[in-house]
Amino acid sequence: MPRFSRRNILHQATVALGLTAGLSGCGTIFYPERRGQPRGRIDWTVVGMDSIGILFFLLPGVIAFAVDYANGTMFLPAAMPPDSAAVPGGETELRSVSLGTVQPSPADVERAIYRERNLTVSLNDRSIRRQPLASIDEFWPQYRRAQRS
């Protein structure tokens, strides 16, 4: 007959929790929207969490790495700015880029984004809001207002 003690229940709960976390992968749990994305820069937070899984539970930790790698959740999204660009408050530090014209066309802006960030974007999408700014310092306040409306 099985014996139920606090130690036995705690041990079983710890093993079950470790197996569950390890077999699913930390990146898959915390960033499900990243599933299926292409390989890119590594998200060291996910790697660190998976490494802790290896430290405590060897096999589930290795499986967590494999799951996160296979799902693509171990990698940062392509449009995510580098950590060095982050400023307090979660906003990204912006820098002004001269386009050489007073009234740049959407194509001019798309080319500048590709040249500066190596990102292909389309500004012809109807869901995109365009608004002229007097200075780059107006961007974050305008962005927050647009998010609320």
Residue 121 and residue 113 in contact, taking contact as beta carbons nearer than 8 Å: yes
d(CA 89, CA 66): 33
List, run by run, the mean pLDDT of 10-residue segments along the chain (149 residues). 74 72 70 81 86 81 86 77 49 78 86 85 79 83 78
Handedness of CA 92, 69, 19, 44 (dihedral sign): negative
CA 13-16-18 angle, to 5 degrees, is: 105
Provide the pLDDT for residue 136.
84
| Domain residue ranges of the chain, discontinuous segments joined by + | 6-71, 83-148
Block residue for tokens 């940062």 = 76
pTM above 0.85, yes or no: no
**Closest to 65 measured CA to CA, from 88, 87, 46:** 46
Provide the pLDDT for residue 20.
63
Provide the pLDDT for residue 19.
61
Provide the pLDDT for residue 18.
63
Count the Cβ atoms, other than its own, within 10 Å of residue 77: 14
